[in-house]
Amino acid sequence: EDQVTQSPEALRLQEGESSSLNCSYTVSGLRGLFWYRQDPGKGPEFLFTLYSAGEEKEKERLKATLTKKESFLHITAPKPEDSATYLCAVQAGGGNKLTFGTGTQLKVEL
Amino acid sequence: KAGVTQTPRYLIKTRGQQVTLSCSPISGHRSVSWYQQTPGQGLQFLFEYFSETQRNKGNFPGRFSGRQFSNSRSEMNVSTLELGDSALYLCASFAAQDTQYFGPGTRLTVL
């Protein structure tokens, strides 16, 4: 059974204080690893897809990386508007089902 | 391009009733997946539809069912509602085996 574990569960940062979120996974036949951002009361918003170990993608202050066992979401110089829950999901095997981690709740303070 | 739309956005039902939720995918997307999100379990896969056919189903009881229409719009139905069915129900739309884009969700409260 596919498993995804995210850490930490919650993270509080000061504005400008860079950090990383972790997503470790156990799957058979990874086809893709996805990062989403979710604001309270809203649906997840797509950020990145990573397909193979060594791949990296960047968008504004966010950078996602992938190894054979885990993915990191690096947040550089965060701002209060980056506060949200960040979700990691994997797609494996032959189907399109996403298996999600429980998320990291990020709060960035002034 | 318009995003995924879900209706209604909020629903309040009582135990034993049934409910139908609707999802309109992004134009051109023929695949739809449904997920249940609760504080305790996170996001859990319900089912996936492509061209009116259910292609995959998660570990939910038979009270949870769905269908897809020829215009790719999808509905999910929950019969004999239980308190534990209170959740945010999310629909995701995608093209082939591509990234899944989520709608805003339907917040279901069962009293």
- A59 close to A47: Cβ distance less than 8 angstroms: yes
> Cβ of A96 and B35 within 8 Å?
no
Sequence-ordered list of residues with C-beta below 8 angstroms from that of B40, at least 6 positions apart, any chain: none
Q: What is the pLDDT of residues B12-65, one digit of tens each?
A: 999 999 999 999 999 999 999 999 999 989 999 999 999 999 999 999 999 999
d(CA A106, CA A75): 10
Q: What is the pLDDT of residues A46-93, one digit of tens each?
A: 999 999 999 999 999 999 999 999 999 999 999 999 999 999 999 987
Examine residue A44 and say whether the peptide bond preceding it is cis (omega within 30 degrees of 0): no
pLDDT of res. B77: 98
Contacts of B100 in chain A (CB under 8 A): 34, 46, 96, 98
Between B103 and A92, the higher pLDDT residue = B103
Burial of B76 (0-12, 13-18, 19+ CB in 10 A): buried
Residues 6+ apart with CB under 8 A from B33: A96, A97, A98, B45, B46, B47, B48, B49, B91, B92, B94, B100
Which among B42, B55, B101 has the least Cβ separation from residue A100? B42
User: C-alpha angle with apex B97: A21 to A56, nearest 5 degrees?
Assistant: 35
Q: Which residue is closest to B107 within chain A, CA to CA?
A: A41
Residue type for position B20: T
Residues in chain A closer than 8 A to B104 (CB atoms) = 42-43
Does A95 reach chain B within 8 Å, measured CB to CB? yes
**CA atoms within 13 Å, Cβ hemisphere of A57:** 14
Q: Return the percentage of chain A with pLDDT > 90, whole number.
A: 91
Residues B8, B82, A103, B34, CA torsion sign: negative
At B97 the pLDDT is: 66
Q: Quick one: which of A68, A28, A75 has its CA closest to A47?
A: A75
Give the Cα separation of A82 and B27 in Å (integer). Answer: 29
